Structure 1
């Protein structure tokens, strides 16, 4: 493993949802649904598509789709530029959907946090739990 890879941390959050993978996939890949649980966006599930996520807090994340395996895996960059380099973040988000007896296990891994980014790392952990809560609420309302 190269030295740079050992210097970053990965935030991992998992939750089982009582819904089939296809339903979660819709919520992860349809822009109007992504906006309901994550952020405003111009997402398309096409590898190489560059898109932006715009947070309620005014921040903008520059993203690019890296991998799309329908109903199984979705991955994209999650980059935030800031005037202060300590707050800039270059990371990758990977969603993994695994069917279970009761629905789907959804795992998100956000990698790329530098050791000095303890606040961003902790924020990602808390943020993904909050996003998953919103996602669960949205899934209850979807047909």
Structure 2
């Protein structure tokens, strides 16, 4: 958010050889954004692709795991490495069960005024893995996804998101 309280545009930055950094602000406090980003009942409402999410499991604790499925099209799963609710989570993302490689995803939510600044670092194992992710469109559609998250936060009552 900027000083006027409006949402800043999504930023996607390629840093070094292996990282993709995603930044986005939301007009809601970190606790509400966290809940929408980690509640398996809410995640399918905003994390969409061309296919509908058909499974969403999350055991939100260090040594827990998650699994997001889009029918037979594809899925992401992996271990949760760190959780500091409502500001920090780190997990490893395996695409379609390929545990031979994985992307470490670090999500940080920082209070900014009455809103939240989200920073996600997606760290690939090497430059080739990052280039392949970019080539297949891994970051395409992030604008729409995070716009849906903002809309969900705006339409959902405080009691539903906050707890």
Which TM-score band (shorter chain)? 0.7 to 0.9
Judge conservation of contact 1:113–1:120 (CA < 8 Å) in 2: no
| 4+ aligned runs moved over 4 Å, structure 1 | none
TM-score of the superposed pair, with normalisation by structure 1: 0.79
The offset of 1:129, in angstroms, is 3.4
Does residue 140 of the first structure (1) align with residue 143 of the second (2)? no
> What is the Cα deviation at residue 56 of structure 1?
5.7
| SS of residue paired to 1:66 | strand
Deviation at 1:12, TM superposition (A): 1.0
Worse-matched range after superposition: 98-107 or 124-133: 124-133
Structure 1 CA distance, aligned partners of 2:140 and 2:87?
24
Whether the 8 Å contact between 2:19 and 2:124 is mirrored in structure 1 is yes
**TM-score normalised to the size of structure 2?**
0.71
Structure 2 match to 1:34 = 43
Shift of 1:13: 1.0
39-48 vs 54-63, which deviates more? 54-63
**Where does residue 58 of structure 2 map in the other structure?**
43
Q: Matches of 1:77 and 1:47 in 2, distance apart?
A: 11
Q: Which residue number corresponds to residue 72 of structure 1?
A: 87
Q: Per chain length, whose mean CA-contact separation is higher, i.e. which structure has more relative contact order (CA < 8 Å, sep 6+)? A: 1
Paired residues for 1:46-65 under 5 Å: 46-55=61-70, 58-65=73-80
How far apart are the structure 1 equivalents of 2:42 and 2:124? 26
| 1:85-131 CA-partner distances (Å, limit 9, x unpaired) | xxx85101111001011411011111115323424135233243332
Q: Name the CA distance, whole Å, in 2 between partners of 1:65 and 1:82.
A: 15
Aligned equivalents of 2:103, 2:147: Cα separation in 1: 22
- Residue 4 of structure 1 corresponds to none
Aligned residue pairs: how many?
A: 133
2:104 matched to which residue of 1?
92
